Amino acid sequence: MSIEPPEKALILIVDDSAANLGILSEFLANDGYRVRLEKDGKSAIEAIEVQKPDLILLDAIMPGMDGFETCKWLQASADFKDIPILFMTALSDPADKVKAFDLGAVDYLTKPFQQEEVLARIRLHLRLRSLTQTLKEQNQQLQKEVEDRIEAEAALQELARTLEQRVRDRTLELSNSFEELQNAQTQLIQTEKMASIGEIVAGVAHEINNPIGFIAGNLKHLEEAIGEILDHLQLYQNHCPPSNAEIKEHEEQIDLNYLIEDIPHMLHAMKLGVDRIGNISISLRNFSRADTSSKVLGDLLEGIESTLLILQHRLKGNSNRPSIKIIKEYNELPPIPCYPAQLNQVFMNLLANAIDALEEKYQTEDKQLKLKRDKTLEPPTIWIGTESIDDRGVIIRIADNGAGIEPEICDRLFDPMFTTKPRGKGTGLGLSISRQIVEERHGGSLTCHSIPGEGSEFAIAIPIEDLE
């Protein structure tokens, strides 16, 4: 299979013989080449500086500047040393041929010329030049890729450094936040926001410890993963091209694709933990915020949700009962003039009492046996409903499917110091204080409706009054 020359390649022929120029130019032109003719080395150099040829046929022996001197000049030039030079000579001395190759010639043609040989050698060297240029471009591209990889490694190292610092900063923030929550626990207990606040905030602290531990556990894996990736990229820098066997082996050994996929998951898990802590922190702050001396517009649904989040640990299932289900039947409520922190205390008392009632229902041995026998028994559930009464007021209902309360006990529920709980578990002040807050501070009402064996419902009604 013949090697075809590139289309319209420019061939420079340098020979002091007009006959040789005529012969060569004729069959080169007939073969599709562009041809330029010069009679000595000096004029050839001037022609090359005007238009660079793709290949040069150079006569060795010429008057003035001969072929050897011309070749030496071209090889000394950075712009022209890549042009393939084929010497043309009738000399038979091997020393002359060696001299031509030493000066940079790629081949030689012996006079008299054989047309097929000349064309074959020209095609071959044009093809070699084309391949050489392609290889040079590929090497340049490869060098660029190496430089890009080095830049990417530097960027990744900087990212790792800044990420570690951000994680440290965020961990410090979380630690400070945890301290704030612990301080809030002490403050709430000291101000007797509610009798059971110590237990509640302790539960919140437990909820916060889990996300912090989760984040701390992932940080170690994150640092290891980033270290492995940096090691792998360092190998790319030291061994190029990237098909190097050591790099491939290391890539398989560390399971690079898994690391790249797993890091975003770990970071996402960390974000979820941080968000969880933020929500708990916000809820506790909302719940425990200092009361104002006068009423302000308050969002009751926000207060209920904050209270539920604080009580989340008590809603989970345990050895005595399943998880408590919360059913929310919220209707839109307008912001109302109120003392938000005091109403939060009411919500906390009622929801905590509902949880206590459900736990009490499932605690006795007889009830547990019944639960195992009766698969249709409803799971422990708390319903929370809200409604707006035109522009006159709002109603919040909190109900449970606990054991219910006997009528004679219902009548005394709001009496100070009255409690149905065992000694040490209740103070008898929760519902009494709640009624005071609702009726005396807000001009509303707090009522209870209960059916023994079915459950209880407490209704809070608060009128809407103009702010003073």
Q: What is the pLDDT of residue 10?
A: 93
Q: Which residue intervals of 63-109 are DSSP H helices?
A: 67-76, 94-103
Integer Cα distance of 212 and 274 in angstroms: 8
pLDDT of residue 293: 66
Residue that is written with structure tokens 């940079």 in the block: 104
Residue from 450, 445, 304, 455 nearest 385 by CA = 304
Nearest-angstrom CA–CA distance, 251 and 232: 7
**What is this structure's pTM?**
0.45
C-alpha 107/C-alpha 33 separation (Å) is 19
pLDDT at 207: 65
pLDDT given at position 444? 94
Tell me the pLDDT tens digit for each residue of 128-177: 888 888 888 898 898 888 888 888 888 888 888 888 888 888 888 887 77
- Please tell me the distance from the alpha carbon of residue 120 to that of residue 79, in angstroms, as a whole number: 26
Q: What is the DSSP letter of 375?
A: T
Query: Which residues make beta-bridge pairs with 398?
Result: 384, 458
Cis peptide before 452 (omega within 30 of 0): no
Strands 107-110 and 393-400: unpaired
- The rounded percent of the chain whose pLDDT value lies above 90 is 22
Contacts (Cβ under 8 Å, ≥6 apart) of 220: none
Q: Cβ contacts of residue 355 below 8 Å, gap of 6+?
A: 311, 314, 315, 324, 382
Q: 129: which DSSP letter?
A: H
Assess contact for 12 and 54: CB atoms under 8 A.
Answer: no
DSSP 3-state of 394: strand
CA end-to-end span of the chain, whole Å? 103
Distances (CA, A) of 394 to 207, 268, 307, 323: 32, 40, 19, 30
Over residues 381-398, the pLDDT tens digits come to 999 999 998 888 999 999
The DSSP annotation for 52-69 comes to --SEEEEES--SSS-HHH
Q: Which of 115-119, 275-279, 292-296 has the lowest mean pLDDT?
A: 275-279
User: What is the mean pLDDT of the segment spanning 110-130?
Assistant: 87
What separation in angstroms does the CA of 94 have from each of 89, 90, 102, 215, 405? 11, 11, 12, 79, 122
Does pLDDT of 442 surpass 70? Answer: yes
Express each pLDDT in 332-382 by its tens digit. 999 999 988 889 889 999 999 999 888 888 775 455 555 554 545 678 999
What count of other Cβ atoms lies within 10 Å of the Cβ of residue 416? 12
Q: What angle do CA 361, 366, 372 make, to 5 degrees?
A: 85
Mean pLDDT calculated for residue range 194-223:
59
DSSP 8-state class, residue 403: S
Residue 415 φ then ψ, to 5°: -75, 140
**Residues 35 and 76: beta-carbon distance below 8 Å:** no
CA-angle at 306, arms to 286 and 176, nearest 5°:
55
Write the burial class of residue 157 (CB in 10 Å: 0-12 exposed, 13-18 middle, 19+ buried).
middle
When pLDDT is cut at 50, 70 and 90, the band that residue 319 belongs to is confident
Rounded to an integer, what distance in angstroms lies between the CA atom of residue 135 and that of residue 112? 35
Nearest to 381 by CA among 430, 449, 454: 454
Specify which of 5-9, 40-44, 290-294, 404-408 reaches the highest per-range mean pLDDT: 40-44
Q: What H or E segment, with its residue span, contains residue 293?
A: none
| Per-residue confidence (pLDDT) for residue 260, from 0 to 100 | 65
- Whether 291 has a pLDDT exceeding 60, the answer reads no
Q: Which residues pair with 87 in a beta bridge?
A: 58, 108
